[in-house]
């Protein structure tokens, strides 16, 4: 099976390095490129046509939500996973409204990033345990989302992911 091609969109260099390191533990994931702003994300997505795009929301030049909206129109086959400090129900819902496959709160990325990647690759939606306030959580679970902390469905033909190391914190985004 060919590797899943990934584009990383993150303006904070240390967190971008963490993402690269975490994904690098898996031979089935291949990083095609890294960019640090929303406009570059749209351009690289069109150029590279990645299977997955891991994207921050608080980006320079064009925020991640608007970049995702444009990418979904231009490269609809790419699946977007948001990684953000933001955990409010409105922001999370906004991310899914523009077509996100997964939403991971950065402080939980060490334990949830690869689960979100696996869910998206498997055609399932995923939402971080830190982004499940009240009515959003019940709506998502009723809609068939994989909720972090819930017992995941495991593909018996795929070995379990290796546990990732702890994520660096980033309070600026």
Spatial distance between the Cα atoms of 7 and 17, rounded to a whole number of angstroms: 13
CB 54 within 8 A of CB 68: no
CATH number for the domain whose boundaries are 4-147: 3.40.50.2300
Q: Is the pTM of this model over 0.85?
A: no
For 64, list phi and psi in degrees, rounded to 5. -60, -35
* Contact call for residues 90 and 108 (beta carbons, < 8 A): no
How many percent of the chain have pLDDT more than 90? 69
CB contact at 8 A, 4 and 30: yes
Q: Are the CB atoms for 7 and 50 separated by under 8 Å?
A: yes
pLDDT tens for 69-123 read 999 999 999 999 999 999 888 899 899 999 999 999 999 999 999 999 999 999 9
């Amino acid at each position: 099976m060919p590797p899943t091609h990934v584009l990383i969109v993150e303006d904070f260099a240390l967190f971008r390095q963490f993402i690269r390191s975490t994904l690098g533990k898996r031979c089935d994931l291949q990083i095609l490129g890294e960019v640090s702003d929303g406009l570059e994300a749209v351009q690289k997505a069109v150029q590279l046509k990645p299977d997955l795009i891991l994207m921050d929301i608080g980006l320079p030049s064009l925020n991640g939500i608007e970049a995702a909206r444009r990418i979904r129109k231009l490269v609809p086959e790419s699946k977007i996973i948001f990684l953000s400090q933001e955990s409010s129900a409105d922001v999370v819902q906004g991310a899914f409204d523009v077509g996100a496959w997964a939403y991971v709160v950065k402080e939980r990325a060490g334990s949830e990033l690869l689960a979100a990647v696996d869910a998206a690759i498997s055609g399932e939606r995923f939402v971080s345990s830190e982004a499940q306030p009240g009515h959003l959580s019940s709506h998502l679970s009723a809609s068939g989302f994989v909720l972090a902390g819930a017992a995941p469905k495991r593909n018996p033909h795929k070995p379990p992911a290796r546990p990732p190391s702890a994520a660096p914190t980033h309070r600026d985004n």
